[in-house]
Amino acid sequence: MGSSALILLTICGIAFAGGGILLSRVLAKRSANVVKGEPYECGIPTTGTSWIQFHVGYYLFALIFLVFDVELVFMYPWAVVVQKIGMSAFIEIIIFMFILFMGLLYAWKKGALKWM
Amino acid sequence: MVDLLKGYNVEKLKSENLRLLLTYSFASLSSHIHAWLISSMGDGMAALVSEMLIVGICLIAFLVPLCFFLGYMERKVAAFMQLRLGPNRVGPKGSLQIVADTVKLLFKEGLTPTASDKFLFNLAPIIVVVTSMLVMAPIAFAKDLQIWDLSIGVLYVTSISSIAVIGILMAGWSSYNKYSLLGAMRSGAQIVSYELSIGLSILSVIVLTGSLKMSDIVMSQSNGWWIFKGHLPMWISFVIFIIASTAEINRAPFDLTEAEQELTAGFHTEYSGMKFAMFLLSEYINLFVVSAIAATLFLGGWMPFHIGHWELFNHIMDFIPSSIWFMGKTLFIIFIIMQFRWTFPRLRVDQLLTLEWKYLLPISMVNILLATLIAIMGWHF
């Protein structure tokens, strides 16, 4: 199959998940109750909003990830042709990796990789 | 056969690969069905739609029993490792336990919290299942048995599987529950971090094969699997791949997202009934996909166990069907990942991130340079 596989698999997934959920909606017994709609915690109503602020560390890691992920995307085409090009591609990737590694060391030194 | 040889070192392969003709190829079957559909319906939408229907039904008929089996296997492996019996009441040796559980979940009410974002809350399980379905496309189940053998197969898998994090974040955020939100944020940080190591260890195989196409990667292992041909760097990247993919699919010891003692059930705390079953299902499909990719890249996919020029041995190995080789290797890796769960204690968030950023990432960066050196100098077999 060609690219129609994408359409097929998307439809398959939606039909499978949606079908299951709809079937259970038809089959399952339902009852209305205010308590059922409360957030699942220890039994006491939740204090304040549940959409709380979270730790800034998550953002830091996301930022470092972006840098390295773009690097990874650059390396895919390189990896396909490296055997044809040979030694010069190897030397170039060493320079590329060196710069990246320095970036990682910088982030490390600045404490960006430390949790809390 | 000739089509498969495209893109790789054709002269070298042709001399070595004549023996592969022994392995049954599904290409004849699929082309036969294709020709029959076109002859009976014409070369239009009808043939295409019915072909899609056949493939879709086959896929679901494969995936649902697979998920049942993996659920059963997980509980039996857990029992085996803890000296328990495990499920042994429903069906022979308890094999229908998971079916009974699914029927139970089907009859459970699917609750939606009043304060939640209802649209996103219901969309999240569907997104998670759709992404894990989409990743199935380029996987080579047997010789020429692939849904879509696209030229960027491995890149496609890595890019699509990273969409799953959106579904998880969506589920956590829309639930209006602090546990869910924290679990989802942890999952985001974890999946995003470990993706780098997965990418780098995949790249070290791509450097050796010179192609992103799944069938080319399998064909390049016809005289030995990469884990044997590629010396030490392949072993390192195999181990890194297994560790990182265990983290990527949120399984223990990296199951911080659903750490029961801290976060109740993590991002799916508020889900119940069939919506919860969807998360469970996608978890098992992801487990299968990750193991299948590991088997394809490092253990030769459907390729029988061949040793260099031992013609007789290779001929005997070819008599075992390719699908059995593929499923055997995949189940072996799944078994390893299931054992991890009962072998290692759960990591803390800071330990998790330290492991990735201070150990796995530098190691895999150096490792890919080693693999490149081996590829360029021709030191691999």
Q: How many CB atoms lie within 10 A of CB A7?
A: 12
Per-residue pLDDT reduced to its tens digit, B255-269: 877 776 777 777 888
**DSSP 3-state of B316:** helix
Average pLDDT estimate for B289-318? 83
Per-residue pLDDT reduced to its tens digit, B337-374: 988 888 888 888 888 888 888 898 889 989 989 888 88
Interface contacts (A, B; CB < 8 Å):
213
Return the pLDDT at B23: 65
Band of residue B4 on the pLDDT scale cut at 50, 70, 90: very low
Average pLDDT estimate for B112-135? 87
Residue B56: closest CA among A22, A1, A23: A1
Instruction: Evaluate whether B345 touches B215 at the Cβ level (below 8 Å).
Output: no
DSSP B343: H
Alpha carbons B207 and B218: distance in angstroms, whole number = 14
Position with higher pLDDT, B148 vs B2: B148
> In this model, does residue A23 exceed pLDDT 70?
yes
Return the pLDDT at B288: 92
Name which of B122, B178, B262, B374 to mutate to probe chain A: the one with the most chain A Cβ atoms within 10 A of its Cβ.
B178
Alpha carbons B153 and B23: distance in angstroms, whole number = 23
Report chain A residues whose CB lies below 8 A from the CB of B350.
114-116
ipTM of the complex: 0.87
Report chain A residues whose CB lies below 8 A from the CB of B373.
90
Name which of A83, A95, A99, A104 to mutate to probe chain B: the one with the most chain B Cβ atoms within 10 A of its Cβ.
A83
Instruction: Evaluate whether B66 touches B284 at the Cβ level (below 8 Å).
Output: yes
Return the pLDDT at B335: 92
Q: Which amino acid is at B160?
A: I
Alpha carbons B332 and B340: distance in angstroms, whole number = 13
The maximal CA–CA distance of chain A, rounded, in angstroms, is: 70
Alpha carbons B282 and B132: distance in angstroms, whole number = 6
Alpha carbons B365 and B351: distance in angstroms, whole number = 20
DSSP A50: S
Please tell me the distance in Å from B121's CA to the nearest CA on chain A: 13
Band of residue B2 on the pLDDT scale cut at 50, 70, 90: very low
> In this model, does residue B53 exceed pLDDT 80?
yes
> In this model, does residue B12 exceed pLDDT 60?
no
Task: Tell me which chain B residue has its CA closest to the CA of residue A31.
Answer: B109
